[in-house]
Amino acid sequence: MTNIDKAYAVIMAGGSGTRFWPLSRSTRPKQLLALGPDHRSLLRATAERVFGMVPAERTFVVTSVQLREQVEDELPELDPQQILAEPVGRNTAPCIGWAATHVKRLDEDAIIPNVETHICREKDALQYTLDNLKDLVVKPVGESGGYGVVVGPRSTAAEIEDVRKLIVANPANFISQPMVELSVCPTLVDTGIEPRHVDLRPFLITGKSTWVLPGGLTRVALKKGSLIVNSSQGGGTKDTWVLE
């Protein structure tokens, strides 16, 4: 389990101001807009959700030099040193990498939580998995991507009992994780345009320096309601291009 006392949060708050144009502008992109009925900005609302899990003193915001003062005004709980201002935006991966490096310098034991993984060959993780199968995603570690995945919240009682027997017979072959709701995007299918779950895979080039290529691969779960994007299970792909 994650040690919450060592958990840090990073909020990405850059942006060019084009997503919600004409409301957003380069000097006031979407995260600084109050779009809900409570008149809080998207950044403020996000931070308040984060503060319910990780205290303000262990929360960092990555933004741009141009937006730094506005972010400080939105989040007076944060020390100015907790607001990391990029001189030039380089998209998501470098943003996360820079923030993680910064946090690690402050605390060698720091944790930036990711999806929790229960390794079933470990006794406690095995018991937790068996006790919570209906809420977890179970994956075999010795199969090709997408094969043998059981999504507990989307499975029948019979399917859950079948995977329980497999886990008990060979715990070392399985891990479990909480189900993550993927984003959806409009997708052209046989019946027209419908929402389908997707995940994004960016590509990085590493040598003397590292940079993110201006494009990526969006994998699509083409089966209606499915969360599995692997092509082996009927998934498809979309090209993704970074235009700015």
pLDDT at 206: 64
Torsion, CA 92, CA 98, CA 100, CA 106, rounded to 10: -150
Extents of the domains making up the chain: 4-106, 118-178, 183-241
DSSP H helices in 75-132 = 92-106, 123-131
Burial class (CB in 10 A: 0-12, 13-18, 19+), 85: middle
- Once rounded to an integer, what is the mean pLDDT over residues 160-189? 88
Among candidate residues 79, 83, 105, 80, the one with its CA nearest the CA of residue 31: 83
| pLDDT per residue as tens digits for the range 58-68 | 999 999 999 99
Residue 170 has pLDDT above 90, yes or no: yes
Domain 118-178: which CATH class?
alpha beta
| pLDDT per residue as tens digits for the range 195-210 | 888 877 766 666 677 6
pLDDT at 164: 95
Residue 86 has pLDDT above 70, yes or no: yes
Q: Please indicate whether residue 151 or residue 201 has the higher confidence score (pLDDT).
A: 151
Q: What's at 113, amino acid-wise?
A: P
Question: Could you give the percent of the chain with pLDDT greater than 90?
Answer: 30
pTM: 0.50
- Once rounded to an integer, what is the mean pLDDT over residues 132-156? 86
